[in-house]
Amino acid sequence: MAFDQNSKRIFKLVGSRPPRPDGVEKVTGRALYGADMTAPGMLSGAILRSPHAHARIVSIDTSAAEALQGVKAVVTSADFGVPDDEFLRDVQDNCMARGKVLYHGHALGAVAATSAAVAKQALALIVVDYEILPHVTDVDAAMRPDAPVVQEGRSLENVGPGLSQNVTSYCEFGHGDLDAGFDQADLIISRSFKTAATHQGYIEPHACLASLSADGRGDLWCCTQGQFFVRTLCAGILGIEASQLRVTASEIGGGFGGKTTVFIEPVALTLARKSGRPVKIVMSREEVFKATGPTVSSSMDIKIGMTREGRITAAQAQLRYQGGAFPCGTVEMGAQAAFAAYDLAAVQTQGWNVLTNRPKEAAYRAPGAPMAIYAVESVVDELCQQLALDPLAVRLMNAAQKGTLSSYGPTFDDIGLRATLEAAQAHPHYSAPLRPNQGRGLSCGFWFNFGGNTCVSLNINTDGTVGITEGNPDIGGSRASISLMAAEELGIPYDKVRTIVADTSSLGYNDVTDGSRVTFSVGLATIEAARSAIKVMCGRAARIWGIEEDAVIWEDGCAKPAGPNAGAFPPMSLAEIAAVSANTGGPIAGHFEVNADGAGVSFGVHLADVEVDPETGATKVLRYTVFQDAGKAVHPDYVEGQMQGGAVQGIGWALNEEYIYGADGRLQNAGFLDYRTPVASDLPNIDTVILEIPNPGHPYGVRGVGETPIVPPLAALSNAVSRAIGVRLNELPMSPPKVLGAIMQRG
């Protein structure tokens, strides 16, 4: 779907900031989220979780739980089949352990009862005999040949010899002659880095309400980023046909990638099938931390060579990511993203995915990229410091641009990196003075962006309003953006359009809300659906006027006679055509279905000023500015919102957030008190500068914006803190004890 090059259009609505259509429901408390739905005869479900990091399940005795008054069903892995498909089997085994529990918090049983209190009581009556096994939670330890093996036989052939079976896969990207490149360098720096696992931290815990009748028809209400994928997974696990399971996405209280899979949904359906009653499961916050999310933790080695003038001559990264107890492909994305911002003659990245006794990682905003780019941008900053070069000038000197062979293979089309860097360089933030104990850091960020399977229906109502049916849960204002694009294309006011997110029985398959794909891909499909409806409306007008269909054009929301007939008939508005549609051929609609490509990569640059308290090691963020290319900002408020929210998640990752495991392999901080996400008083305003370098792959030039903003804060803050205290830090989070330790060592 090419960018409308010839139109050079002046947008009337796209780029404005109207109120979101779901605003009133959300400020009045009427919006219905996962836990807000009930059904007649509903039971309460609860899940039994492993107290151990790694253990064989010798036996489970559920008889006492089943005998408890009010208990209607108890399930274990024995109530599930064993899917042939390996991916589906992993999803199921993560929802309900089979044979072994693989991490602290791993589900191994569930009950449905007449109340939450009875369900909880019943869990305590399930007797499990565990044979405790040795465990491993650290990525480097898990790779050693003598490490406890989390799962046997999961290692792919491309993993080299001498490593534990926990290493499941290996990847490699790059081009050019590394040795020759490093030979040309005046300075080479090699550093090792570690980052902790962090959780997406959505405020809404996972929740669902499931019913499954004896005839095999089911309904599932749940908070998810993708109801169609939930249907695929649940139908596969339960052995029912997709058409028989209707999944409705509730309003979603945050996801950030963490609600792109299932945890409780197949369990609730299985309990519903066994009990013959609707079953609701709502996770506690502790369960969310123990058994969902988080992102990978990493261990990384980076080597970069630079000339005295600041040109990078060669760059190399080795990335080791642990993704918990099941195989993942996250390191591939880190390895591809690591050096994306640079135009390099010689570059190589290698990555290893590793199993540990931790919860299975889930996508988290630009999965795999923040840690790799943190490590790279830290070394680039240290090179700049040692060579006394301006870090922004060095980025500009090495910046990837149109025509650059990227470090991961493709050649870039129009990209906004250079414009973004120039905007940062010209911004007053970059030259503002700093005081003692203060430091300024910067970092580039990158995300691939994604298009994917998308399907939109657009119905013209007889009163001249428009209904749009799309299939992607709205995680940050997308219904407003979709409505704006439809109104723009049709030439009608924004408030004449209503966009709804459909259930799985009402629309064709849509990929999950991920990859920053919705405004790009659903937007593109909406524009094309509007164009198809316009074609129908022009045909109807032609019929009324008795002229040829191709002699009618659509302009300013009206059909107009064109060519030799120009001016022969008064224009007919959308409302006028819709009003008489019954007499001209029936209802008018537009559809568009696509597996969209051309998402257009996204770059951003962040500037961060911090002050470090030399007595406590605590870091205060003083000033923060985000620069990012949005292609075309459809609703700038929500583009800024993505930039600000992503930046603050990255700030939390950099300064505070981490999964802390004890020697016993148990998670020690499964709550918001001890897993500290940023609060309002931690932060300054997050300033934003939106650049618009049109994406050649979208009619309006739109690029996804949601993921890139979490990437730069890690290095921007690390570089700022390192410059403030005069010591380089190579580990995240930079919690006060670590920073204080570095200050004390410096002396």
Partner 1 sequence: MKTIQISTTVNGDALETLCAPDETLLDVLRNRLGLTGVKEGCGTGDCGACSVTLDGRLVCSCLVLGVEADGAHIGTVEGLADHDHLHPLQRHFIDGAALQCGICTPGILVAAKALLDRNPDPSESEIRYWLAGNLCRCTGYDKIIKAVQSAAAEMRSA
The distance of closest approach from Cβ of residue 278 to partner 1 in the complex, given in angstroms and rounded to an integer, is 15
**Element holding 438 (H helix, E strand):** strand 438-447
CB 51 within 8 A of CB 124: no
What is the DSSP track for 714-736?
HHHHHHHHHHHHTS---EE---H
Residue 249: beta bridge partners? 222
* CB-nearer residue toward partner 1: 223 or 533: 223
* CB-nearer residue toward partner 1: 203 or 582: 203
Contacts of 213 (CB under 8 A, 6+ apart): none
* CB-nearer residue toward partner 1: 541 or 648: 648
Mark 310-343 as b/e (b = at least 16 C-beta within 10 Å).
bbbbbbbbbbbbbbbbbbbebbbbbbbbbbbbbb
* CB-nearer residue toward partner 1: 351 or 652: 652
The distance of closest approach from Cβ of residue 125 to partner 1 in the complex, given in angstroms and rounded to an integer, is 18
How far apart CA 52 and CA 127 sit, in angstroms, is: 14
Closest CA to 593 of 644, 529, 640: 529
Tokens found for residue 166: 């926990």
The distance of closest approach from Cβ of residue 480 to partner 1 in the complex, given in angstroms and rounded to an integer, is 9
Amino acid at 617: G
How far apart CA 289 and CA 180 sit, in angstroms, is: 47
Beta strands in 339-424 (DSSP E): 347-354
The distance of closest approach from Cβ of residue 566 to partner 1 in the complex, given in angstroms and rounded to an integer, is 42
Length in residues, the chain? 747
Amino acid at 309: E
**Element holding 483 (H helix, E strand):** helix 478-490
Closest CA to 375 of 439, 316, 330, 438: 316
- What SS3 state is found at 576? helix
The distance of closest approach from Cβ of residue 89 to partner 1 in the complex, given in angstroms and rounded to an integer, is 32
Tokens found for residue 498: 């209503």
* CB-nearer residue toward partner 1: 113 or 142: 113
Residue 452: beta bridge partners? 596
How far apart CA 66 and CA 88 sit, in angstroms, is: 29
* CB-nearer residue toward partner 1: 170 or 364: 364
The distance of closest approach from Cβ of residue 426 to partner 1 in the complex, given in angstroms and rounded to an integer, is 22
The distance of closest approach from Cβ of residue 648 to partner 1 in the complex, given in angstroms and rounded to an integer, is 3
* CB-nearer residue toward partner 1: 27 or 663: 27
* CB-nearer residue toward partner 1: 174 or 646: 646
The distance of closest approach from Cβ of residue 350 to partner 1 in the complex, given in angstroms and rounded to an integer, is 33
The distance of closest approach from Cβ of residue 65 to partner 1 in the complex, given in angstroms and rounded to an integer, is 20
* CB-nearer residue toward partner 1: 32 or 426: 32
* CB-nearer residue toward partner 1: 32 or 82: 32
How far apart CA 486 and CA 488 sit, in angstroms, is: 5
Closest CA to 225 of 438, 414, 418, 474: 474
Phi and psi for 677 in degrees, rounded to 5? -85, 155
The distance of closest approach from Cβ of residue 27 to partner 1 in the complex, given in angstroms and rounded to an integer, is 4
The distance of closest approach from Cβ of residue 377 to partner 1 in the complex, given in angstroms and rounded to an integer, is 21
Tokens found for residue 65: 């739980």
- Taken in order 266, 270, 273, 278, is the CA torsion positive or negative? negative
How far apart CA 361 and CA 340 sit, in angstroms, is: 24
The distance of closest approach from Cβ of residue 620 to partner 1 in the complex, given in angstroms and rounded to an integer, is 12
* CB-nearer residue toward partner 1: 118 or 533: 118
Amino acid at 357: N
Tokens found for residue 725: 């205290």
Q: Which residues would be at the binding site for partner 1 (CB under 8 A)?
A: 17, 19-20, 22-24, 26-33, 35-36, 117, 200-205, 251-256, 282, 284-285, 475-477, 637-638, 640-641, 644-649, 671-673, 677-683, 685-686
Phi and psi for 649 in degrees, rounded to 5? -60, -40
* CB-nearer residue toward partner 1: 381 or 474: 474
The distance of closest approach from Cβ of residue 638 to partner 1 in the complex, given in angstroms and rounded to an integer, is 6
Residue with tokens 């989220």: 33
* CB-nearer residue toward partner 1: 596 or 670: 670
